[in-house]
Amino acid sequence: MTDGDRTLTRREALRAAVAVGGSAGLAACLNLESQPTETGEANRNTDPPDGTESAAELPNRQHAWTEFSRTDKHGNPVLARHHVLLLANYVDDGPVDDVDRKQAANAFRELEETYRWASDGLLFTVGYSPAYFDRYDEPLSESVDLPRPAALAPFEDPSFDTPDLLVHLASDRASAVLEAKQALFGELETANGSEVTETIDGIVELVDRRTGFIGPGLPAEHDDVNGVPDGAVSEDAPLFMGFKSGFVENQATENSVTITEGPFAGGTTQHLSLLRTELDQWYNQDSREQRVAKMFSATHAAEDLVEGVGDNLGDSSLVSETGVGDRVSDDAFEEGVVGHAQKLARARDEDGDPRLLRRDFATVDDGRTGVHFLSLQESIADFIQTRTAMNGTDVANVGGVGTKNNNGILQYITTVRRGNYLLPPRSKRSFPRPS
């Protein structure tokens, strides 16, 4: 496959195909995946696994992905490599009628029957925004904390996503996320070898489609977009900023982000933001030691705790073990810099566990690097509290730290969009009523 005058590697081409989407992208993908593989991409020249026949075999939590995903050698769950986000609106005003509800339920169910519920098959969630629930007379159940999106820092000015629903498709196979989208919208006759009979075509309208990827090698292969210094992103970096993220010790569990009471027990809330990343300063101007200090902490930098992308850290970023979360203000004063992970370690819950289950991934949508920062938490308040810790406003006038200067990675990221969603339990996945 070529892109202009350049030959793409196989992985690059797969990622590019996801970004292109449509039938052209899908055809390219299937073709690539049937070729012998090199590293990384799990062996795709076998047929994709079949779907799950019985709905009863699947967990009631839409977000139950971990036990169906790979884990790395340290026991960290590995997020699927390819992602598509579909933002869509219900076509009518007012409450959704039961016919449409049934139609969508069948379409989602058919996706499960088509692909195995696993990261080498297809994992997906369907979430609903506060704007969606506005169509009903009754308010959303009080057991759910789902405010409209808002700016969460004095220095940001994001646009707000207000589609009715957000479908998140994830798979290690680029073809699966592409094909699943087309199957869902009735653009295909067959998907993964089975006939497509149920779709959401006609009842929802797609308003935006976003794509992304995460995993060793993928960012390095997309360093051809604007703003990425040549060769700066390490070959084994899973994300553009060059460090591994999502250690099991630094993530909330699926259990802890699950809503426990009320009509949406078994569900969770989802925040999706689009962050633009500025990599020229990060790679060309900061030194490695400064990057480690800003991403983790000055202690991580001084004691050389992070090797390469941070695989040596095992299953923890060591923010608790080193106690750096308790030294944020001291470090701002004495060291002149505070780390991102260090600041966020202050946002733990009563048991000392992180509040967010991060499932963020990198993107080159619109030809620029960024992160689709997607996280799950029991309530949006958990997200706001965590993001407030990241803002570091409390240390923005302490010692060497400013609003953004040496304040974690704030200097390198800009929040462009924000949106909040409820992921109902699987049984209420199709156009839920508010209570």
Partner 1 sequence: MWPERDPTRRDFIATSGVALGMSVAGCATGDDAAGETETPSGAAPGGTEATPEGTDAGRENELPTATAQERPLVHIPAHQDGMRMVGMTEVGPYMVAMSYTLPHDFWVLAGQEKSYVRINDGQGLHLMATVWDPEYNQRIPLGSPPVEVRDAASGDSVAEKSLWPMLSQQMGPHFGDNVAFPDEGEYTVQLSFDPVSARQLGEYRGRFTDSVDAEFDLLFRTDITNNIRERFVDEAGQAGALEPMETNMKPNGSLPEVRALPGDHGGIVDGGAAKFVVQVLRKTPAGIDSSGPYLAVSARTPYNQYPLPFMGLRATVSSAGEEVREPLKAAIHPELGYHYGAPFPAIAMGDEVTLEVGAPPQIARHRGYQTAFLEFDDMTLTLGEQ
Check binding of 337 to partner 1 (CB under 8 A).
Answer: yes
Check binding of 341 to ligand HEM (CB under 6 A).
Answer: yes
**Please, what is the minimum distance in Å from the beta carbon of residue 274 to partner 1?**
14
Binding region for ligand HEM (CB under 6 A) out of 199-207, 235-243, 396-404, 424-432:
235-243
| Rounded Cα gap, residues 85 and 69, in angstroms | 19
Q: Is 87 helix (H, G, I), strand (E, B) or coil?
A: strand
Q: Tokens for 249?
A: 């010790």
| CB neighbourhood size of 91 (10 A) | 13
Q: From ligand HEM, partner 1, none, which one binds at residue 155 (CB under 5 to 8 Å depending on kind)?
A: partner 1
Check binding of 77 to ligand HEM (CB under 6 A).
Answer: no
Binding region for ligand HEM (CB under 6 A) out of 32-40, 111-119, 220-228, 382-390:
382-390
| Rounded Cα gap, residues 343 and 325, in angstroms | 6
Choice from 119, 125, 245, 430 touching ligand HEM (CB under 6 A): 245
Binding region for ligand HEM (CB under 6 A) out of 22-30, 243-251, 282-290, 394-402:
243-251
Distances (CA, A) of 175 to 24, 29, 340, 362: 11, 5, 34, 18
Alpha-carbon torsion (126, 416, 358, 155), positive or negative:
negative
Distance of CA 433 to the CA centre of its chain: 26
Choice from 14, 118, 183, 413 touching ligand HEM (CB under 6 A): 413
Q: From partner 1, ligand HEM, none, which one binds at residue 356 (CB under 5 to 8 Å depending on kind)?
A: ligand HEM
> Which CB atom, from 180 or from 239, has the smaller least distance to ligand HEM?
239
**Please, what is the minimum distance in Å from the beta carbon of residue 298 to partner 1?**
6
| Rounded Cα gap, residues 315 and 75, in angstroms | 7
| Rounded Cα gap, residues 13 and 36, in angstroms | 14
Q: From partner 1, ligand HEM, none, which one binds at residue 301 (CB under 5 to 8 Å depending on kind)?
A: partner 1
Distances (CA, A) of 168 to 8, 180, 403: 27, 11, 33
Check binding of 10 to ligand HEM (CB under 6 A).
Answer: no
Check binding of 154 to partner 1 (CB under 8 A).
Answer: yes
Binding region for partner 1 (CB under 8 A) out of 109-117, 183-191, 261-269, 392-400:
392-400
Binding region for ligand HEM (CB under 6 A) out of 165-173, 190-198, 284-292, 337-345:
337-345
Choice from 176, 390, 401, 422 touching ligand HEM (CB under 6 A): 390
Check binding of 401 to partner 1 (CB under 8 A).
Answer: yes
Site residues (CB under 6 A) for ligand HEM, limited to 294-323: 295, 317, 319
Binding region for ligand HEM (CB under 6 A) out of 113-121, 135-143, 259-267, 383-391:
383-391
Alpha-carbon torsion (188, 194, 195, 200), positive or negative:
negative
Residue 338 is given by DSSP the state B
| Rounded Cα gap, residues 116 and 52, in angstroms | 6
**Please, what is the minimum distance in Å from the beta carbon of residue 240 to ligand HEM?**
7
**Please, what is the minimum distance in Å from the beta carbon of residue 249 to ligand HEM?**
7
Q: Which residues, at least 6 apart from 186, have a Cβ–Cβ distance to it below 8 Å?
A: 196, 199, 200, 201, 202
Residue with tokens 């400013």: 402
Q: Which residues, at least 6 apart from 137, have a Cβ–Cβ distance to it below 8 Å?
A: 95
> Which CB atom, from 40 or from 400, has the smaller least distance to partner 1?
400
Phi/psi zone of residue 202: left (φ > 0), alpha (ψ -120 to 50 degrees), beta? left
**Please, what is the minimum distance in Å from the beta carbon of residue 24 to partner 1?**
25
Check binding of 386 to ligand HEM (CB under 6 A).
Answer: yes
Cross-strand partners of 204: 90, 201
Alpha-carbon torsion (210, 215, 221, 222), positive or negative:
positive
| Rounded Cα gap, residues 24 and 16, in angstroms | 11
> Which CB atom, from 298 or from 423, has the smaller least distance to partner 1?
298
**Please, what is the minimum distance in Å from the beta carbon of residue 411 to partner 1?**
5
Binding region for partner 1 (CB under 8 A) out of 24-32, 160-168, 196-204, 411-419:
411-419
Q: Which residues, at least 6 apart from 338, have a Cβ–Cβ distance to it below 8 Å?
A: 297, 298, 328, 331, 332, 392, 395, 401, 406, 407, 408
Residues that bind partner 1 (CB under 8 A): 154-155, 157, 226-227, 276, 278, 280-281, 284-287, 289-290, 293-294, 298, 301, 332-337, 368, 393, 396-406, 411-412, 414
Residues that bind ligand HEM (CB under 6 A): 239, 241, 243, 245-247, 250, 275, 277, 295, 317, 319, 340-341, 344-345, 348, 354, 356, 358, 371, 373, 386-387, 390, 413
